[in-house]
């Protein structure tokens, strides 16, 4: 186009020619201009469109009343379009998981029970339902416009301008886009609110979206079960009984969506459909319907202020959400809701001033520009995708915390009730549907014709990012600290391994119940083996017969989670093994006490210890006491002060343990095996030692035990005279009355 290389080349005397050629070019340019900007342009100026929208804002909402005849035409055409749409969208079908109640709860449209085709239904089958139900709902509903619907058939009363509006507003079909994969060309930019006002079948007016902060977080449309097809009048009139008034006082545009769920007339139309709203939000406050809504229920128009006064307590606040709630959880929530409701009810006096806000509020409701951007089925489709991801092959594992937490709660509450009148509530179980595991062989994306594979890394296909090489430290470099640290680390690793075993063992009961008869012996064997492994881990595996050192065990006991783990393991161990543990603990008690000063978690061991003690024979009990007092097997001259015992006495755990041992001894004495114990010199010696120490220790230094067994008094009475007995009594508060 440029004939001249540079400006210098342009000869001045050729100006005329140049201008002429330029003139020719100008003509071309003009034509181009026209095509781009002028009359030839097909594209609409979005700014212009926007201004038109602004004008529409002021037009009154004349489109309230439905014209049934026109609407039904409309509906049929809509249905026609929906069918085409459905065909197209069926290509996007997701494997239908209709059997899963969790998923189906998330969607509003329920596919009909009988499939015409008889094949697996697609998730888009909801449309058939929609169409079918349109009949009875016609009198109440207005169709909403979906951005996917285009080239809406024009209704006769519409003006020419509206025709143009609609065509501009519509989107071209996805699949008809000439370039496959390119985004659909939009005449109107995405996000422009639909223009509606003059068309009666659009039930909402456009309001230029207000820059209200509160709107921003609430752009998410909570899908209502009936697709916002109610007229705004109806929306406002639906009783708001289930909502706490203060909670939805200012929620713009969304107050009435929850209310739609309670419209009983709509419920009638949905035969056999007990579909709670997908949105938990609305569900929480909108509490969907009982399965058979009484047809006689009339919606009575409420004045705005009466929103607050008309709080109907609902007997069953069904909380339908996308997950199953454990019955216990549901009960707790229900209680909580009721509490809130009573609170709010008492605040009704202050509700009067809110009435004024309500009218403007309703205005906003009608003019929500972002309503109905998606069809209900589209929302359902998205919900289904999300819900399908949550299908689990093993709900026990996947949802471990939740299920176990509420099981525990129930046990606790059941236990409490047992003490009272007896179990009032049934023990309800949470049953989560389980899905067979599908093998998802992840294949990384490949393009045809490309050389090699793309390096795409994702959650399912992680790539190695760093080449980390493990270097082992040489022995020479180790300092004492490092050794200590390593030892501690090793202990930690041992604890974790043992914990895994423990969790497995705890799980066996459940597995046992689930397994077949033939598998059970094998399971038992496994369990036993694991218990042995655990014990070995605890005590440190020594090939020799003796267990020379408690070192390993003590190391474990120095760590807080180690102690807790031992407490949990003890019930699974055999009596000898448990006694062994007990001995080791008693032997090293002062050391452990010192180490436990920070954690104070030794007390968790008391309960399992006491359980073990219950099973111990007298000989063991004696040796246990010996350990506590730190006396070697052979009798020695007792030292003036037994430091070991003293330390034990000064610690809560130690003292409690001592009491338990003594109490057990006393029990044994009273039982048939008492004769042995009485004759046991060791026992007598130990007892005198113990009493001596107890007497010696100042009361202030004595720890407070967890509980003082009642038979101690009779125990001491055997070994000390009356005077000392009295001293002991007061010191240890052995008699109930003293406290």
* Number of residues located near another protein, criterion CB under 8 A: 60
- Choose the stretch contacting another protein; rule: CB under 8 A; options: 396-404, 576-584, 716-724, 728-736: 396-404
Q: Give min distance, CB of 315 to another protein, in A.
A: 19
Question: Quick check: 93 binds another protein (CB under 8 A)?
Answer: yes
Contacts of 580 (CB under 8 A, 6+ apart): 539, 547
87, 102, 290, 637, 690 from 385: Cα distances, Å: 19, 12, 27, 79, 70
Rule CB under 8 A: choose which of 150, 248, 653, 716 binds another protein.
Answer: 248
- 53 or 123: whose CB is closer to another protein? 123
Q: Are 232 and 61 in contact (CB under 8 A)?
A: yes
Cα 695 to the center of its chain, rounded Å = 57
Q: Which two tokens stand for residue 545?
A: 């017969």
Question: Quick check: 463 binds another protein (CB under 8 A)?
Answer: no
Start-to-end CA distance of the chain, whole Å, equals 110
| Binding-residue pattern over the window 31 to 70 for another protein, x denoting contact by CB under 8 A | ----------------------------------------
146: region left, alpha or beta (phi > 0 left; psi from -120 to 50 alpha): beta
- 244 or 691: whose CB is closer to another protein? 244
- Choose the stretch contacting another protein; rule: CB under 8 A; options: 32-40, 76-84, 188-196, 242-250: 242-250
Question: Quick check: 731 binds another protein (CB under 8 A)?
Answer: no
Rule CB under 8 A: choose which of 10, 41, 54, 94 binds another protein.
Answer: 94
- 274 or 601: whose CB is closer to another protein? 601
Rule CB under 8 A: choose which of 21, 31, 393, 428 binds another protein.
Answer: 393
400, 531, 549, 553, 578 from 546: Cα distances, Å: 41, 20, 9, 14, 16
Q: Are 277 and 222 in contact (CB under 8 A)?
A: yes
Rule CB under 8 A: choose which of 44, 67, 168, 399 binds another protein.
Answer: 399
Q: For residue 314, which phi and psi values (nearest 5 degrees)?
A: -100, 135
Which of positions 487-506 make contact with another protein (CB under 8 A)? 496, 499-500, 503
β-strand partners of 114: none
Q: Which two tokens stand for residue 176?
A: 């008809």
- 105 or 627: whose CB is closer to another protein? 105
- 139 or 428: whose CB is closer to another protein? 428
Contacts of 5 (CB under 8 A, 6+ apart): none
Query: Per-residue b/e over 89-104, b at no fewer than 16 CB within 10 Å?
Result: beeeeeebbbebebbb
Question: Quick check: 398 binds another protein (CB under 8 A)?
Answer: yes
- 186 or 329: whose CB is closer to another protein? 329
Cα(390)–Cα(323) distance, rounded to whole angstroms? 9
Q: Give min distance, CB of 566 to another protein, in A.
A: 14
Q: Give min distance, CB of 503 to another protein, in A.
A: 6
Q: Give min distance, CB of 664 to another protein, in A.
A: 28
Q: Are 694 and 728 in contact (CB under 8 A)?
A: yes
Q: Give min distance, CB of 677 to another protein, in A.
A: 38
Residue in 152, 138, 255 with CA at minimum distance from that of residue 194: 152
Question: Quick check: 735 binds another protein (CB under 8 A)?
Answer: no
| Binding-residue pattern over the window 281 to 320 for another protein, x denoting contact by CB under 8 A | x--x------------------------------------
- 119 or 180: whose CB is closer to another protein? 119
Q: Which two tokens stand for residue 672?
A: 């048939």
Question: Quick check: 331 binds another protein (CB under 8 A)?
Answer: no
Cα(626)–Cα(635) distance, rounded to whole angstroms? 10
Question: Quick check: 599 binds another protein (CB under 8 A)?
Answer: no
State the virtual CA torsion across 540, 541, 545, 547 in degrees, nearest 10.
-10
Q: Are 697 and 649 in contact (CB under 8 A)?
A: yes
Alpha helix (H) residue ranges in 453-588 = 480-514, 520-539, 551-558, 560-569, 575-587
Cα(277)–Cα(283) distance, rounded to whole angstroms? 6
Cα 573 to the center of its chain, rounded Å = 36
| Binding-residue pattern over the window 698 to 717 for another protein, x denoting contact by CB under 8 A | --------------------
Instruction: State whether residue 708 is helix, strand or coil.
Output: coil
Which of the 8 DSSP states describes residue 217? G
Burial of 569 (0-12, 13-18, 19+ CB in 10 A): buried
CA angle 419, 424, 425 (to 5 degrees): 125
- 177 or 220: whose CB is closer to another protein? 220
DSSP assignments along 388-442, one per residue: HHT--S-HHHHTHHHHHHHHHHHHHHHHHHHHTT---S-----------------
Question: Quick check: 4 binds another protein (CB under 8 A)?
Answer: no
Q: Give min distance, CB of 218 to another protein, in A.
A: 7
Q: Give min distance, CB of 561 to another protein, in A.
A: 8
Contacts of 159 (CB under 8 A, 6+ apart): 198
- Choose the stretch contacting another protein; rule: CB under 8 A; options: 150-158, 382-390, 593-601, 693-701: 382-390
Q: Give min distance, CB of 145 to another protein, in A.
A: 25
- Choose the stretch contacting another protein; rule: CB under 8 A; options: 164-172, 198-206, 395-403, 593-601: 395-403
Rule CB under 8 A: choose which of 4, 37, 405, 614 binds another protein.
Answer: 405
- 27 or 95: whose CB is closer to another protein? 95
Which of positions 251-280 make contact with another protein (CB under 8 A)? 251, 280
Q: Give min distance, CB of 126 to another protein, in A.
A: 15
Rule CB under 8 A: choose which of 22, 41, 397, 738 binds another protein.
Answer: 397
Which of positions 662-691 make contact with another protein (CB under 8 A)? none
* H and E: helices and strands count for the chain: 30, 0
Q: Which two tokens stand for residue 382?
A: 């998205």
Rule CB under 8 A: choose which of 77, 332, 646, 697 binds another protein.
Answer: 332
Q: Give min distance, CB of 97 to another protein, in A.
A: 8
Question: Quick check: 406 binds another protein (CB under 8 A)?
Answer: yes
Question: Quick check: 329 binds another protein (CB under 8 A)?
Answer: yes
| Binding-residue pattern over the window 426 to 445 for another protein, x denoting contact by CB under 8 A | ------------x-x-x---
Rule CB under 8 A: choose which of 189, 217, 420, 640 binds another protein.
Answer: 217
Question: Quick check: 480 binds another protein (CB under 8 A)?
Answer: no
Which of positions 557-576 make contact with another protein (CB under 8 A)? 561, 564
Q: Give min distance, CB of 729 to another protein, in A.
A: 38
Which of positions 514-533 make contact with another protein (CB under 8 A)? none
DSSP assignments along 232-264, one per residue: HHHHHHS--TTS-GGGGSS-TTTSHHHHHTT-H
Q: Give min distance, CB of 103 to another protein, in A.
A: 11
CA angle 449, 452, 458 (to 5 degrees): 110
Question: Quick check: 386 binds another protein (CB under 8 A)?
Answer: yes
Cα(496)–Cα(488) distance, rounded to whole angstroms? 12
Cα(428)–Cα(328) distance, rounded to whole angstroms? 8
Give all strands (DSSP E) within 633-716, no chain letters.
Answer: none
- 500 or 670: whose CB is closer to another protein? 500
Instruction: State whether residue 260 is helix, strand or coil.
Output: helix
Cα(93)–Cα(97) distance, rounded to whole angstroms? 11
Binding site for another protein (CB under 8 A): 92-95, 97, 120, 122, 213-214, 217-218, 220, 244, 246-251, 280-281, 284, 321-323, 325, 329, 332-333, 336, 385-386, 388-393, 397-406, 408, 438, 440, 442, 459-460, 496, 499-500, 503, 561, 564
């Amino acid at each position: 186009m440029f004939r001249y290389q540079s400006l210098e080349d342009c000869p001045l005397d050729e100006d005329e020619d140049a201008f002429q050629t330029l003139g020719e070019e100008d003509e071309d340019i003009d034509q181009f201009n026209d095509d781009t900007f002028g009359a030839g342009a097909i594209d609409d100026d979005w700014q212009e469109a926007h201004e038109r929208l602004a004008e529409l804002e002021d037009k009154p909402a004349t489109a309230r009343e439905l014209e049934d005849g026109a609407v039904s035409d409309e509906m049929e055409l809509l249905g026609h379009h929906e069918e085409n749409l459905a065909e197209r969208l069926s290509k996007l079908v997701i494997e239908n998981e209709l059997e899963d109640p969790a998923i189906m709860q998330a969607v509003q449209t329920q596919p009909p029970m009988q499939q015409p085709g008889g094949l697996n239904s697609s998730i888009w089958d909801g449309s058939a339902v929609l169409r079918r139900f349109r009949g009875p709902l016609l009198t109440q509903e207005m169709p909403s416009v979906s951005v996917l619907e285009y080239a809406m058939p024009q209704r006769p009363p519409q003006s020419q301008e509206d025709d143009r509006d609609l065509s501009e507003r519509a989107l071209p079909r996805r699949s008809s886009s000439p370039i496959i994969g390119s985004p659909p060309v939009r005449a109107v930019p995405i996000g422009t609110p639909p223009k509606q006002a003059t068309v009666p079948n659009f039930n909402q007016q456009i309001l230029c979206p207000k820059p209200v902060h509160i709107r921003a977080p609430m752009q998410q449309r909570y899908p209502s079960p009936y697709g916002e097809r109610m007229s705004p009048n109806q929306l406002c009139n639906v009783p708001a009984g289930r909502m706490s008034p203060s909670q939805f006082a200012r929620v713009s545009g969304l107050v009435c969506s929850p209310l739609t769920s309670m419209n009983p007339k709509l419920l009638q139309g949905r035969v056999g459909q007990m579909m709670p709203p997908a949105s938990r939000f609305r569900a929480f406050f909108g509490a969907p319907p009982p399965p058979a809504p009484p047809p006689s229920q009339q919606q009575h128009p409420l004045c705005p202020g009466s929103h607050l006064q008309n709080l109907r307590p609902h007997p069953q606040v069904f909380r339908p959400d996308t997950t199953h709630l454990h019955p216990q959880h549901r009960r707790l929530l229900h209680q909580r809701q009721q509490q809130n409701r009573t609170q709010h009810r008492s605040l009704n006096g202050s509700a009067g001033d809110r009435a004024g806000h309500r009218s403007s509020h309703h205005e906003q409701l009608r003019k929500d520009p972002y309503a109905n951007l998606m069809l209900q089925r589209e929302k359902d489709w998205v919900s289904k995708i999300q819900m399908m991801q949550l299908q689990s092959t093993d709900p026990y594992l996947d949802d471990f915390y939740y299920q176990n937490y509420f099981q525990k709660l129930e046990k606790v509450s059941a236990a409490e009730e047992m003490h009272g009148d007896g179990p009032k509530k049934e023990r309800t179980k949470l049953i989560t549907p389980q899905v067979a595991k599908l093998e998802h062989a992840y294949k990384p994306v490949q393009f045809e014709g490309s050389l090699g594979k793309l390096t795409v890394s994702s959650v399912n296909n992680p790539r190695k990012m760093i080449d980390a090489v493990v270097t082992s430290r040489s022995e020479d470099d180790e300092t004492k600290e490092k050794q200590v640290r390593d030892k501690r680390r090793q202990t930690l690793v041992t604890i974790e391994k043992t914990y895994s075993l423990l969790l497995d063992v705890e799980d066996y009961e459940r597995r046992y119940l689930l397994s077949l008869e033939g598998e059970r012996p094998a399971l038992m064997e496994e369990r036993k083996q694991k218990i042995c492994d655990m014990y070995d881990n605890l005590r440190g595996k020594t090939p020799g017969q003796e267990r020379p050192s408690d070192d390993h065990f003590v190391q474990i006991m120095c760590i807080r989670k180690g102690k807790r783990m031992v407490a949990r393991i003890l019930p699974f161990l055999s009596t000898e093994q448990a006694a062994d543990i007990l001995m080791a603990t008693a032997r090293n008690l002062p050391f452990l006490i010192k180490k436990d000063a920070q954690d104070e978690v030794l007390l968790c061991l008391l309960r399992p210890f006491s359980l073990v003690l219950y099973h111990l024979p007298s000989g063991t009990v004696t040796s246990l006491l010996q350990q506590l007092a730190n006396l070697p097997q052979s009798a020695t001259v007792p030292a003036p002060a037994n430091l070991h015992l003293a330390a034990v006495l000064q610690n809560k755990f130690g003292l409690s343990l001592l009491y338990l041992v003594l109490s057990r001894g006393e029990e044994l004495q009273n039982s048939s095996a008492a004769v042995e114990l009485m004759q046991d010199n060791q026992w007598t010696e130990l007892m005198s030692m113990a009493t001596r120490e107890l007497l010696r220790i100042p009361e202030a230094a004595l720890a407070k035990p967890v509980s003082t067994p009642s038979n101690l008094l009779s125990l001491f009475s055997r070994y000390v005279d009356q005077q000392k007995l009295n001293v002991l009594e007061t010191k240890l508060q052995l008699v109930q009355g003293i406290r």
